[in-house]
Amino acid sequence: MDTTESARLFERASKVLVEGVSSASRGPAAFGTYPEYMRRAEGAYLWDVDGNRYIDWMLSFGALPLGHAHPRIVEVVRAEVANGTHFATALEVEVEVAEMLVELLPHADKVRFANTGTEAVMACIRLCRGLTGRRKIIKFEGHYHGWYDAVLINTNPQLPTALGHPQDPIRIPDSSGIVPESWRDTHVVPWNDPEALERAMAAHGHDAACVVTEGAMSNMGVIPPKPGFLQHIRELCDRYGALFYLDETVTGFRLAAGGAAELYGVRPDLTSYGKALGQGFPVAAIAGPDHVMEGLEWGKVLHFGSHNAPRLGLYAAKTMLEEMLADGGAGYRRLAEIGERMAERIRAAIRASNKHRAIVQGVGSMFQIFFTDREAIGDYRDFCAHVDRAKFRDFVLALHRQGVFMSPSNTLHSLSCLAHSDADIEATADAVGTVLDAL
C-alpha cells in the first residue's frame, strides 16, 4: 500500500503542528513513523490522501453509530447550515432533543447540553461537590474521564511495580503540569473489586461527593463490569450519601438506547454523554433527576458555554436517535449484532492461525484484541501486567496495510456501525488471519 502523500503531509505538518497532528492519539506515538492522513469517508469506509480505502472500525473513537456521511445526517445538516451555524441562544431543536433524552432515560428528568465529554465531566464533578458540600471523589484505576486535572490519574498503563498494593493504590498523575492540589481529594480504587471499594468507602465515603465510573471500562480496551458490580456501587453510594455518577461518554447511545445504565440495569444519580450522541459533531450532555439537576439552576453550580447545545450537532443528534430508535430500537440490536459477529470472527481467525496467544473481549458493538496468556483481562492491573501492547500496535499497523483501520492503541477499542456489511466482516477477518500468520 502506497502512503507517499501521507508521508509528505507529515513532513509539512511537523513544521506547523505539534507532532504533526492535533491530538497525540492521532500522531506517531500511536501510528509509528507517520499517520495516514484521511481525505474523505462514507458509510463504513475511509479514504486517505493517497486514495487507499480502509474498512473503518475506529469510527472516530465511537462517535459514529450510523457510520460516515449517513444520507439523513448529510441532508439535515445541509438544510440547516443555510439557516445559520450558531446562535448562542435558546433553540427549538434543543428542546426537541432534550425531550427525546428524557423520554429515553429513566434516570433523567432534566438535561443540560455541553460540547465535549471532558467538559461534561468537569461540570458533573462540580455539581456533585456543590450538591453534597463534600470535596472527595472516588474513581477507579484505568478509567478515563477526560483530561480534567482532578481525574487524570491512573489512566495510562504503568509498570505493575509502580501501582502499589491494591488496598492502597499509588496515585499517578498522567501528565506534567498537574499540581498535587488538583487531585488531592481524588481517591483511586481497583475496578471490579467490591471489597476494595467497600474499604475505600469506609475510609472516605462520608466525605465523598461522588463515585465516578464508566459503565464498562473503555480506556483499557473493553473490560465489562462483573455481575452486580455497578449495583454494588449504587448500594454503597446510598449507604454513605455520595452521588453515583455514571460517565457514559463512550457507552451512551451505543451499548443500548439507554446506554450502560439500561444494559446493566442500574440507576445513577448523574450521567454524562458524548461521542455517539453527536453522530460526528461535538455534542455532550448531562442528565439526571430533578433534585440533582436543580443544582445548576440560576448558576448555583456554574456551567456556562458559548457553544453549549450546538445547533447543527443537535440536528445530527436528533436524526441519529430517530434512525437508531426506529422499529422498536432495531438500530441498537443491529449495532450490537455486528460488533459481536466481528469479535467472534476475529476469535475464529486467532484459532485458525494458532501462532499467537490472544483473546477478544467485547460488550455489544465494542470489542478489543489482547495479546495475552490470560483467559480474560479483568481490570487495569491485569492490563498493565499481562497485555502485549507493542505486539498489538505492530498487528494493527499491518492491518492498515491490508485496508483495515483500527486504532493502534491497545488502550482504546474497535466499534461497529450500521454501515458495516457482512462482506466487511469477512474481509476484516481474512485480513486478521493474514496478518497473524505473517506477524
Active-site hit among 37, 45, 144, 380: 144
CA dihedral 45, 423, 35, 379 (to 10 degrees): 110
Distances (CA, A) of 272 to 28, 110, 431: 31, 12, 36
3-state DSSP call for residue 346? helix
- 238 catalytic per annotation: no
In which order are the strands placed within the sheet that holds 366-371? 358-363, 366-371, 414-415
Active-site hit among 34, 275, 332, 379: 275
E-assigned strand segments in 57-128: 110-114
- 355 catalytic per annotation: no
Please tell me the distance from the alpha carbon of residue 85 to that of residue 71, in angstroms, as a whole number. 19
Please tell me the distance from the alpha carbon of residue 327 to that of residue 345, in angstroms, as a whole number. 28
Q: Are 148 and 122 in contact (CB under 8 A)?
A: yes
Distances (CA, A) of 227 to 142, 192, 233, 413: 19, 9, 12, 22
Please tell me the distance from the alpha carbon of residue 144 to that of residue 156, in angstroms, as a whole number. 9
CB within 8 A of 170, min separation 6: which ones?
162, 163, 164
- 247 catalytic per annotation: yes
Active-site hit among 48, 247, 269, 379: 247
C-alpha cell of residue 294: 436543580
Report, as residue numbers or ranges, the catalytic residues.
144, 247, 275
